[in-house]
Amino acid sequence: MTVRPITIHGEPVLHRRAADVTEITDQIRTLVADMSETQDAARGVGLAAPQVGVGLRIFTWTFEDSGDAPPRGHVINPVLTRIGRTSQEDPDPDEESEGCLSVPGYSFPLKRSDHVRLTGIDVDGAPIDFEATGWFARIMQHEFDHLDGYLYVNRLNGKWTRRWKKSLRREGWTVPGNTWLPGVDADPFGHDEAHAGENP
């Protein structure tokens, strides 16, 4: 397994719909294994194939509070159905802020449905079908969005969109070629510092 560089906003693969997987090959199995390794190295809870530069409809996840769903898994060619309504109220900055490995170092609040259904297949061709609620539902929606060419920052409301656009200009993430490598580059979300503080 290999830790792959994570693409950053501005890379074209992040901003277009990913293609369906038409055949599960050894190359696809290697990709899924590498994605899981990369997700772990980045201390993420999910990772979509476009985030490692591959425009295919695959994502991985790891989340302990997953209800009846596996706490760790992957899905190929997923279909996501929103069961719970998405509130039109302003999101709570303390309770509803998301981050993204492809928008490293930032987080912004966003409303999501609190109940979804996910179907698809795994690398063995076995069917996947479960419902997700709460924060796990948020993760499923976040990763599924990547497969349709959306980052969570594309869904922010007006106030938070303006803040994001200021950050985007400051970072210069409007062009291809920006990546970061988990385990080599400093963790953009500060996990390295937190870990160092716990284990001096």
Catalytic sites, residue numbers: 143
Angstrom distance (rounded) from CA 121 to CA 198: 39
* Pairing label, strands 107-109, 97-99: antiparallel
Q: Are the CB atoms for 107 and 152 separated by under 8 Å?
A: no
Q: Are the CB atoms for 11 and 178 separated by under 8 Å?
A: yes
Angstrom distance (rounded) from CA 60 to CA 39: 8
User: Residue 173 has which token pair?
Assistant: 């993430």
User: Residue 140 has which token pair?
Assistant: 């499923």
Angstrom distance (rounded) from CA 15 to CA 55: 10
